[in-house]
Amino acid sequence: MSVTWEEVSEGMELPELKKNCSTQQLVLWAAGSGDFYQIHYDLEFAKSTGLDGLIVHGALKHAFLGQLLHDWIGNEGRIKRFGCSYRGMDVPNQDIMCRGKVVKKYEENGERLVDVQVWTENPEGKQTTPGTATVRLA
């Protein structure tokens, strides 16, 4: 069930979402997003560019955090703005924890808005994809 306006409080955490990409998922994403850059599925190619191995698409992590927000606000809510930076690389077959926290709850122009901080975390606890979003609740 999605969150209600009444339930939201500043500092509360969003229910976490755990992801772990197989290389197959990266190929699915290449097709779904149209990003066919080979560093995401061709190991030899990735190494030839100086990477240690395959890496997870940044935009896929953006979409993971988008799912975290969607699952939290449901279909009555809307994402008004959402952005993140790709600060650290994530690799296939390793957990990517998607997390978020409410920063501000307010009403503006008749809309019930919530600012949240979101991020992905790797198994070492490093935030690889920090971001911020503003969502509207019913």
Partner 1 sequence: MSDGDSESLITDEMRAHVGQEGSPTTYEVDKTSVRMFARAVGQTDPVFYDEEAAQAAGYRSLPAPPGYLGTPIFDPTQARGGPPTGGGPQPTRPLNRILNGGTEIEHLDDICAGDVLTARSHVANYEERKGSIGDMLIVTSKTNYTNQNDTLVAVMTGTLIRY
The amino acid occupying position 36 is F
Q: Does residue number 99 form part of the binding site for partner 1 (CB under 8 A)?
A: no
Q: Does residue number 53 form part of the binding site for partner 1 (CB under 8 A)?
A: no
Q: Taking CB under 8 A as the criterion, which residues in 9-38 touch partner 1?
A: 19, 25, 28-29, 31-38
Number of residues located near partner 1, criterion CB under 8 A: 38
Our CA angle for 115, 109, 75, nearest 5°, is: 55
113 contact partners, CB below 8 Å, separation of at least 6: 80, 105, 106, 107, 134, 135, 136, 137
Q: Which residue has the tokens 């939201």?
A: 8
Helix (H) or strand (E) holding 123: none
DSSP 12: P
Q: Does residue number 4 form part of the binding site for partner 1 (CB under 8 A)?
A: no
CB of 90 to partner 1, least distance (A): 12
Looking at the Cβ atoms of 59 and 103, the one nearer to partner 1 is 59
Q: Taking CB under 8 A as the criterion, which residues in 54-83 touch partner 1?
A: 57-60, 62-67, 69-71, 75-76, 78-83
In this structure, are residues 62 and 129 in contact, taking their beta carbons and an 8 Å threshold? yes
Residue ranges that bind partner 1, judged by CB under 8 A:
19, 25, 28-29, 31-38, 49-50, 57-60, 62-67, 69-71, 75-76, 78-86
